[in-house]
Structure 1
Amino acid sequence: MDNNITLSRLDTMDVDCVVKDPPESGSTLNDQNDMSRMGKVQEFKVSLKSKVVESFIDNIEAQLSPVSSIKLLGCFAGHVGVYFNGLQNGGFAGLFWSFVWTFFGFGFIIVSLAEMASMAPTSGGQYHWVSEFAPARHQKFLSYTTGWMSVLAWQAGAASGSFLTGTIIQGLISIRDPSYKPQNWQGTLFVFAMIAIIYFFNVHAANWIPRIQNLLLALHLMSWVIVVVVLFVMTPQQPAKVVFTEFYNGGSDATAHMSEEVKDAGRYVPIAIAWGYFGNGILAIIVLVGLLLSIPSVPAALKDSSGFPFLYVFRNTLSLAGVNGLASTILIPVIFSNILFNASTARQTHAFARDKGLPFAEWISHVDRRRRIPVRAIFLSCLISGLLSVINIGSTVAFNAIISLNVAALMYTYAISISCVIYRKIHCPETLPPRRWSMGRLGLSINIIGLVYVCFALFWSFWPPTPSVTAEDFNWSVVIFVGIFILSLMVYAFQGRYQYVGPVVIVQRRE
């Protein structure tokens, strides 16, 4: 057991030693105890209730195409927008079975993250968990690099959500006007418009976020019912044998980063993470089956001018007005998910800066005292999304490589954090913080399976989309991933090792 850093069990805590939250914060005593144990002051307004916090889980689901990289998606509405790669690299059966495999494999990761979120409900997420659970001699370095890769993953993911929205709109325009030829610069302008909406809601309409969550949950279920009815009732159906056996080769934490704004986070954040993931996954599988049954030809769907197989199916079944209306039921939840995704991204960035893990940490970690939100971190996240989208004007390949980084970087943070909690459970389980959501005796086994799957997913995330690789279709994410990792090492050598101590040290000072 490590002697210089010991994580003691805090089954009880003297109320007098708790950092008191402002009366209007809305936090519970359990929230205050958790924040005090981690050495943090509750700066955010706690306004997210347990029944609606599941909306943030819409940003943490995953799909793995057979040859290409993992795509972190939103709710089922986000899934239907990114099935192109799966169809291209596996056809009907390839897309379906890879989705099922990923759904169950990624589930082990999700419940592992949920348990860690119950032990330490903080916006920092993975880098904080690594700091608490890693061996003492390695916690500082591992936590620092995990923090950098987590920031990279979430910032790239935020940009991809806005980009998906813009390209869906371009696809709808091409359906309405067959002479329209989508241009990259036009897609970038749509991204700018989405970023403006995201900034407005997360800063000037932040008090509406709980209502947005309620609305998103309602829209999510309503749009799911509408899409399912259209796919299974109105469209001509392929034989089931084709969907499940015919292959073709043409070439899920957000809630964890909102923990400091959730009431009774140590209990309800892990519940939202686990149940939100599995509930959404079941809905997505049903929609996937309906979509695959409705596609008459894989090559025709891939060559459709809209660029989206689901729009191809809608156009074959509905009138132009029907296509617009049904696509809106998918597009609107995606837009709301983008708003919530940016909120999670900003909180994660703010948390790492708060622990002095980023350059200009004091400026980034500032919290607006009137609004009680990290306005500067929100602005920075929107700015990064905008800058990344500009790359798309010159090269779609380069932009897609950067966006795919959120997969590799996120898998890296999962691998390190799960490895550290496995280490802690094996070598000194008595030092783990108390938790109110646990996997019991199966916990360690689930962690190990989750780690194996993460390594598998990380390996495939760097592969190109086609076997014959050229400079144009090479998956440049591996180059950028290594480059950013080296940059984090350089910043650590010149700045981080002097300023960054890691959350676990702050935890010990509170004990």
Structure 2
Amino acid sequence: MQVSDKAPGLESQDVDYDVLQEAQAGAGAGTARDDDDMHRMGKIQDSNSQGLTNGGMAGLFWSFIWTFIGFGFIIASLSEMASMAPTSGGQYHWVSEFSAPRYQKFLSYITGWMSVLAWQAGSASGSFLTGTIIQGLISIRDPNYIPENWQGTLFVFAMILVIYIFNVHASNLMPVLNNLLMILHILSWAVVVIALWALAPHQHAKAVFTQWENLGGWSSMGLSVMIGQISAIYASLSSDATAHMSEEVKDAGRSVPVAIAWGYFSNGLMAVVVLIAYLFSMPSVDDALNDATGFPFLYVFENAVSTAGVNGLTAIILLPVIFSNILFNASTSRQTFAFARDKGLPFSKWISKVDEKRKIPVNAIVLSCIISCLLSLINIGSQTAFNAIISLNVAALMYTYIISISCVIYRKIWHADTLPPCRWDMGRWGLPVNIVGLVYCCFSFFWSLWPSSLPVTLDTFNWSVVIFGGVFMTSLGMYVFKGRKQYAGPAVILLRLQD
């Protein structure tokens, strides 16, 4: 999710990767009993398998379908706002511009903090996945290797170092990476789908589309599936990354919303195809969740091809994902830079500084890399570290969507004549689409903070609740003591410039 990108068309990469990761992958959280077994064996449990644990094959498939549809209303709403106000600030800027003047400063400030949190968590999740997948590959080549959590964290650090080097010292290569990523994205999708359909043993359609499973210990199948849908939601995130690069995109009022909308819907269809191929190629959900690598998609690959083939298929997934992580960090750092530029963060002057030689916000890039490292440290003490990071990503981003879409709904109902011109216009369908998108945002937010299984222990607790609550309370405190005095908000700044 993650990882959509920044220039037109790149948001596509996110949906594909995440489905190759959560759909194709469901990384090994298993049942509550499986958690204990994997901990005893020293294996890494990656809770991206939550869709398989809570819902089984049918749950993973159908939750992706309704998520794809529901998220479509959100994407359409975000595209419309991006056309009205193309800016790197994204949600906090839209809130500032569309909310009631009385609440403009407060809502924009809090939304800015939560948007920074969401994008930083999303950036960390991509590095976490690539680092721990490499650790899983080592387990395939060396069955005697016992992966430790701290080792996985070191691999994550290595991925973050690569991101830093490219974003700072090879920033001039970004246009090349954009084009290369698009090519790799399509090729990797085609190769994986063909390999799974041609070489893997196949399940019956009845098992794929009707076999629901509750392996998380929940009281009912319905509750289990609702919790498991976090995998599908995560796969659909961040398609609005292009919005945060608006100030570096030509004809942003038109190009950005087109990139957001078409990237999401085209890749959603591709994701459905690869998800079906993945599920048909999974002989056993239990075996997939208990695979020694901790990644069910590696289990599926092992049943289809040789060890060399597993390495090859995983490599063609990892390469575009690594490139995507690099570009995702670019979007994340620009969003952080924009909020700091408006004096919304501590040390704003330092964060918003632009390198005179490279013409990029180097300090914001460095800060984003540091935050990714800090979030990845959760992995050392918790088996469900990734679940916490993606839940944090989902919850914080849904919060910003809720506030920004609510504000544009308010503006359309009571002050429609004050809305800025929009080159990507949904016409009379705009308001109904916004309302449905808002309802789905609230629905996703509610389920994003639940733990993945019962009973809840220190190891399986969803720590995203603590981080989300902590950052939210911090933002309130910062507003009282600093923000209300120093932060004006983009809308006020624009009015001053016009005067």
TM-score normalized with structure 1 length: 0.86
1:261 matched to which residue of 2?
Answer: 248
1:228 aligns with 2:193: yes
Paired residue type of 2:25: G
CA drift of 1:467 comes to: 4.1
2:483 matched to which residue of 1?
Answer: 496
CA drift of 1:241 comes to: 1.2
1:249 aligns with 2:214: yes
1:158 aligns with 2:158: no
CA drift of 1:76 comes to: 4.5
**Cα distance in structure 2, aligned partners of 1:301 and 1:399:** 18
CA drift of 1:390 comes to: 2.6
Match runs of 1:337-348 below 5 Å? 337-348=324-335
CA drift of 1:403 comes to: 4.5
Equivalent of 2:381 in 394, 403, 407: 394
**Cα distance in structure 1, aligned partners of 2:453 and 2:432:** 35
Is the contact made by 2:382 and 2:458 (CA closer than 8 Å) also made in structure 1?
no
1:58 aligns with 2:45: no
Equivalent of 1:193 in 148, 151, 158: 158
1:80 aligns with 2:24: yes
1:112 aligns with 2:77: yes
1:479 aligns with 2:423: no
1:101-129 deviation digits (Å, cap 9, x = unpaired):
10110110011001100111111000000
Is the contact made by 2:201 and 2:303 (CA closer than 8 Å) also made in structure 1?
no
1:149 aligns with 2:114: yes
| Aligned-partner SS, 1:53 | coil
1:350-394 deviation digits (Å, cap 9, x = unpaired):
000000000110110011122111110001101111122233223
Structure 1 379/75 Cα, relative in aligned 2: closer, same or farther at 3 Å? farther
Structure 1 57/130 Cα, relative in aligned 2: closer, same or farther at 3 Å? farther
| Aligned-partner SS, 2:357 | coil
**Cα distance in structure 1, aligned partners of 2:195 and 2:411:** 50
Structure 1 79/196 Cα, relative in aligned 2: closer, same or farther at 3 Å? farther
1:152-181 deviation digits (Å, cap 9, x = unpaired):
111111111101001110111101111111
Is the contact made by 1:57 and 1:255 (CA closer than 8 Å) also made in structure 2?
no
**Cα distance in structure 2, aligned partners of 1:506 and 1:74:** 37
1:66 matched to which residue of 2?
Answer: none
Is the contact made by 2:122 and 2:389 (CA closer than 8 Å) also made in structure 1?
no
**Cα distance in structure 2, aligned partners of 1:486 and 1:254:** 26
Bigger helix fraction:
2
Equivalent of 1:433 in 420, 429, 442: 420
1:61-102 deviation digits (Å, cap 9, x = unpaired):
49xxxxxxxxxx647567533451111111110000001010
2:455 matched to which residue of 1?
Answer: 468
Equivalent of 1:279 in 251, 266, 274: 266
Paired residue type of 1:379: V
1:336 aligns with 2:317: no
Paired residue type of 2:78: L
Structure 1 500/115 Cα, relative in aligned 2: closer, same or farther at 3 Å? same
**Cα distance in structure 2, aligned partners of 1:400 and 1:244:** 25
Is the contact made by 2:56 and 2:213 (CA closer than 8 Å) also made in structure 1?
yes
Alignment length (residue pairs): 451
Structure 1 457/111 Cα, relative in aligned 2: closer, same or farther at 3 Å? same
2:42 matched to which residue of 1?
Answer: none
| Aligned-partner SS, 1:54 | coil
Is the contact made by 1:152 and 1:409 (CA closer than 8 Å) also made in structure 2?
yes
1:367 aligns with 2:354: yes
1:414 matched to which residue of 2?
Answer: 401
1:356 aligns with 2:343: yes
2:231 matched to which residue of 1?
Answer: none
* Unpaired segments ≥5 residues, structure 1: 1-48, 63-72
TM-score normalized with structure 2 length: 0.88
**Cα distance in structure 1, aligned partners of 2:420 and 2:18:** 31
Paired residue type of 2:474: L
**Cα distance in structure 2, aligned partners of 1:148 and 1:472:** 28
| Aligned-partner SS, 1:179 | coil
For structure 1, which segment, 458-467 or 360-369, has the greater mean C-alpha deviation from structure 2 after superposition?
458-467
1:99 matched to which residue of 2?
Answer: 64
Is the contact made by 1:58 and 1:277 (CA closer than 8 Å) also made in structure 2?
no
| Aligned-partner SS, 2:355 | coil
